[in-house]
Structure 1
Amino acid sequence: MTRLNTTSTTLLCAEDPLIDMTFITTCTGMTDKWFYQLMSQGRFPKPIKLGRSSRWYKSDVESWLRQRIADSRGV
């Protein structure tokens, strides 16, 4: 019988879901081409590859966006 360790952190968590590029482009109004260019320059989080799909932790994208806002405002 296999038991799950309830004290360990799980990778799949509703508090930090995996999001796709459509979600990112809808929220930001920017194109996927722009984001892939940023990734190639190391200026946007690399995706988590799941087969042929790419996903990002929502928290990583939010952190990146908060930093961009702070940088643009000189904070």
Structure 2
Amino acid sequence: MTQEPLLSIKDLCVITGVCRRTIHRIRKAGELPEPIRIGRRPRWRREDIDAWLNRRGSHEPNERYPSQTAG
């Protein structure tokens, strides 16, 4: 069984298309899956991030950011 490499914050930025600051904000809010600590650096399993993204996509649009077409 080959295991995929763990993801860094930089990897999360690429996958999600958001900046490092946003990743830190989401993490601080407790919205990201728990990371695995390698020394002092947090790392995530790809399958945990994929599941997290799928869960986020299955919810109604965020009410804090209403669609600009809503009127």
Determine whether 1:49 maps to 2:34. no
CA RMSD of aligned residues (A): 2.0
Determine whether 1:60 maps to 2:56. no
Larger strand proportion of the pair: 1
Superposition TM-score, scaled by structure 1 size: 0.66
Change in 2 beyond 3 A, CA 1:23/1:72? farther
Superposition TM-score, scaled by structure 2 size: 0.69
The one-letter code matched in structure 2 to 1:26 is V
| Distance in 1 (alpha carbons) for counterparts of 2:9 and 2:60 | 23
Q: Summarize deviations over 1:14-50 as a string: whole Å, max 9, x none.
A: 1x43111111111111112112211221111122111
Alignment size in residue pairs: 61
Q: Percent identity?
A: 26
**Where has structure 1 moved over 4 Å in runs of 4 or more?**
none
Max radius of gyration: which structure? 1
